[in-house]
Amino acid sequence: MDGTQFAALRWRSMKPACIGIALALVGCGSQSRSECEALRTTESVLNELAWAAEQADAGRTPRTYLEAFQRQGVQQLKQSAQELRPHDPTAAGIVDGVAGYAGTPDRLRAAARSLRAREATLEAA
Amino acid sequence: MKPLELTLGILTAVGGFVDISELVFVSQAGARFGYALIWVIVLATVGIIVFGEMSGRIAAVSRQPMFTIIRKELGLTLGGVTLIGGLVSTLVTCAAEIGGVALVLQLLTGGSYLLLAALATTVFAASIWLLPFKWIERSYGLLGLVMLVFAAALLALDPPWSHIAAGLVPRVPAGLSQQDMLVYGYFVVALISAIMFPYELYFYSSGGVEDAWSKADLSTNRVTSIVGMSLGALMAIVLLCLAAQELGPRGISPEQVGAVVLQPGLAFGKLGVILGLLGILTAVAGAAIETCLANAYAVSQFFGWRWGRHRPPQDTPLFTLAWLVVFALALALVCTGVEVTDLADYAVVLSIVVLPLSFLPLLLAGNDPVLMRDQVNGPWSRRLGWLFYGLVVLAAVAAVPLYLLTLGGKL
């Protein structure tokens, strides 16, 4: 575990509490709202990784940048999966499926679309 | 007015305009709402020009920097509240800048995030210790001009000019749900805050005193603040337009700072990505130094300590200790692992809450004929000052509820 992962773990343990306090403050605490936020954020990270991979395939990104960008993205995906797991294990599973590696653009986009569909269902509910 | 000094001052203002919060918020705003929020950037820029020019004029005429004025106008208690609020919001901003620099360095070198954050902070501290004020201001500001690669990318990607022009007109996009309306409102407030950060005035006003401005420098102050900040705002508009054109349609609301440089990459390939990273690196590094110094200026001026980079560090021990402590605390905040985009969120919300208390003393001092003599605010400065003050108060009242209701614009 490098310093970034260690620091991220500590933050991960604090973030739900911070969001919970914030929601409680306005009296509008709702699990689905924070779940929606997590889904939307994760969807964007997946699309960012997909676009970066496409640009790399087209020879438009330096290798060091791409590798570091993918590491940062994968780490965010792992955090997202942990946030989602208690309330939406299916969504967490979708993220797990692509978070172990950078993934191909198509698989990343497909995962993003699945999360988008779950978010739409949540919003409708 | 010396032409070279003036040109350098303007270029410095342009290069130093963009910081990590602006980068995050204008990109997210463009990705989510297209070109519909351009008018907010224009509006907030007029506001920061009005107050920036005023703070520089007060510094030149009275030789008093901002926190001396704040303590005088608000008294010890309310002034103290302003000081604490300003210190906290600027410290969080400083941490966001250091984290942003570390992320960009990681993308350039592949190194460890925390190690790079520590290394960057050491380089910033050495810059402040070793370089004269003007060199600090100019070198980072001028290097920030590499950000112009984003403007070149926008031009190369053939933007829809009619949509951009339409974004200059204040409006709420049609067909937004109630939730989207709240998020739109949050972005309006966040953009105002990100462009009118209080630290910018603490730094600008103190810089005027550092550079020993006098009445002879009033024209330089006016032209630098108007032209420099306007051109700097154009850079923010460019980032928003790129995000509207390239990020939004791809379902991206940038959660990673590195995603933003894929846009110049689209136009110029690997060179575009590298220049984009270097541009962000220098612009954000400059902002890290400005925020750190702004806090040290604030606390030193409030308590009447000897301060300034025009004096050697050993002549200003408390001021020197203050900026070293600010860097140490900001780095500690980064080491907790809080994400840079979250820090940027907290920074804008905290800053907008502090803005009314920071701007009021400035307005009162600028309107004071005893202090300002023949340079007292004219009718336009006065009207615009109160108008923007009212806007800032409204934004401050709305900021926290909107942040909580939209989970920082993420819903």
pLDDT at A27 over 50: no
Q: How would residue A37 be classed by pLDDT, with cut points 50, 70 and 90?
A: confident
Task: State how far the Cα of B306 lies from the Cα of B289, in Å rounded to an integer.
Answer: 19
What residues in A contact B407, CB-CB < 8 Å? 19, 22, 33-34, 37
Give pLDDT tens digits for A86-124: 888 999 999 988 876 656 889 999 999 999 999 888 877
pLDDT at A9 over 60: no
Residues sharing a CB contact under 8 Å with residue B241, sequence separation 6 or more, in sequence order: B30, B35, B38, B154, B159, B164
What residues in B contact A55, CB-CB < 8 Å? 262, 265-266
Residue B103, chain A, CB below 8 Å: the answer is: yes
Contact map slice: B 270-289 vs A, CB within 8 A: 270, 272-274, 277
Give pLDDT tens digits for B96-111: 999 999 999 999 999 9
What residues in A contact B156, CB-CB < 8 Å? none
Query: If you write DSSP's letter for every residue of A66-91 in order, what string do you get?
Result: HHHHHHHHHHHHHHHHHHHTTT-HHH
Domain boundaries, chain B: 3-406
Nearest Cβ partner for A55 among B265, B277, B405 = B265
Minimal Cα–Cα distance from B164 to chain A, Å? 24
What residues in A contact B403, CB-CB < 8 Å? 22
| pLDDT value, residue B16 | 62
What residues in A contact B107, CB-CB < 8 Å? 64-65, 68-69, 72
Structure tokens at B154: 């926008």
Residue B252, chain A, CB below 8 Å: the answer is: yes
**Nearest chain B alpha carbon to A113:** B251
Residue to mutate among A48, A67, A82, with most B CBs inside 10 A, is A48
pTM reported for the whole predicted model:
0.90
Query: If you write DSSP's letter for every residue of B253-301 in order, what string do you get?
Result: ---SGGGGGHHHHHHHHHHHHHHHHHHHHHHHHHHHHHHHHHHHHHHHH
Give pLDDT tens digits for B295-322: 999 999 999 999 988 888 889 999 999 9
**HSE of B111, CA atoms in CB hemisphere, 13 A:** 15
Structure tokens at B169: 């007109």
| pLDDT value, residue A24 | 47
Query: If you write DSSP's letter for every residue of B53-78 in order, what string do you get?
Result: HHHHHHHHHH---HHHHHHHHHHHHH
How many contiguous H segments (helices) and E segments (strands) does chain B have?
17, 0
What residues in A contact B274, CB-CB < 8 Å? 62, 65
**Nearest chain A alpha carbon to B341:** A41
Nearest Cβ partner for A47 among B251, B338, B410 = B251
Residue B178, chain A, CB below 8 Å: the answer is: no
Nearest Cβ partner for A51 among B110, B252, B405 = B252
pLDDT at A28 over 60: no
CATH number at B3-406? 1.20.1740.10
H or E element: which one contains B328?
A: helix B317-335
- The mean of the pLDDT values for chain A is 80
pLDDT at A6 over 70: no
Ranges of residues in chain B with a pLDDT under 50 are none
Residues sharing a CB contact under 8 Å with residue B304, sequence separation 6 or more, in sequence order: none
pLDDT at A7 over 80: no
| pLDDT value, residue B269 | 96
Looking at residue B284, its amino acid is V
Residue B250, chain A, CB below 8 Å: the answer is: yes
Size of interface A-B (CB pairs under 8 A): 125
- Percent of chain A at pLDDT > 90 equals 40
Nearest Cβ partner for A26 among B265, B337, B404 = B404
Domain boundaries, chain A: 29-124
Alpha helical stretches, state H, A26-125: 31-57, 63-84, 89-99, 105-124
pLDDT at A29 over 50: no
Looking at residue B82, its amino acid is T
Residue B401, chain A, CB below 8 Å: the answer is: yes
Tokens 């070793």 sit on residue: B130
Q: Do B336 and A69 touch (CB under 8 A)?
A: no
